[in-house]
Amino acid sequence: MRIIAGSLKGHGIAAPKGTATRPTGDRVREAAYNLIGPVADAAVLDLFAGSGAMGIEALSRGARRCVFVESDRTAAKVIDANLAKLRLTGALVLCKDAFQALLEERAEARLYDLVLLDPPYGVWPELQARLADALPGVLAPQGLLVVETAANLEPELPLTVVTSRRYGSARITLFTR
């Protein structure tokens, strides 16, 4: 995998080995950022971060900071290694459950300009109701939520859909408040 654009364009990043994570491919990541637009000076929250590719892409494109949340210890170590290799600052890796992190971020009144959400495709139906309750509390008033799901799923959240597009086996849906 490689960084698509920004100050680190072309640099390679590692992905966790095995099938526990499914990194967002280069093409889907590029398509997502074409939809997202500029992220300069944004505060970013990358939930179910996996390899950290989406959040690292945001940092490369000028995001001010990014909090990566990944419950798998091995994957969290890969994110740490990628950040160290690329000498990225303004990043924090939390090895914890996404809902616990959302609860803590909401309790601290931390708001994010960009929230990246890429849970395992098969569990979206189980997570949707809990995410619908938790996500609005961390999204800044003009913030953008980017949800990656399997192409055949249409995520429904109590937010306004900006766009929803299919890219092969993936769907990218953008929401705003």
Q: Could you tell me if residue 97 is inside a domain?
A: yes
Integer Cα distance of 69 and 102 in angstroms: 9
Q: Could you tell me if residue 64 is inside a domain?
A: yes
Total number of domains constituting the chain: 1
Model pLDDT, residue 121: 85
- Cβ neighbors of 12 (< 8 A, separation 6 or more) are 1, 2, 3
Model pLDDT, residue 18: 60
CATH number of domain containing 44: 3.40.50.150
Q: Per-residue pLDDT averaged across 100-120, rounded? A: 96
> Which residue spans within the chain are E strands per DSSP?
43-47, 65-69, 91-94, 112-117, 139-150, 160-167, 170-176
Q: Which two tokens stand for residue 93?
A: 């890796």
Q: Could you tell me if residue 164 is inside a domain?
A: yes
User: How do residues 24-53 score in pLDDT, each as one tens digit?
Assistant: 777 888 999 999 999 999 999 999 999 999
CA angle 111, 96, 35 (to 5 degrees): 45
Residue 118 has pLDDT above 60, yes or no: yes
Interstrand relation of 170-176 and 139-150 (parallel, antiparallel or unpaired): antiparallel
Q: Which domain holds residue 156?
A: 26-176
Q: Could you tell me if residue 76 is inside a domain?
A: yes
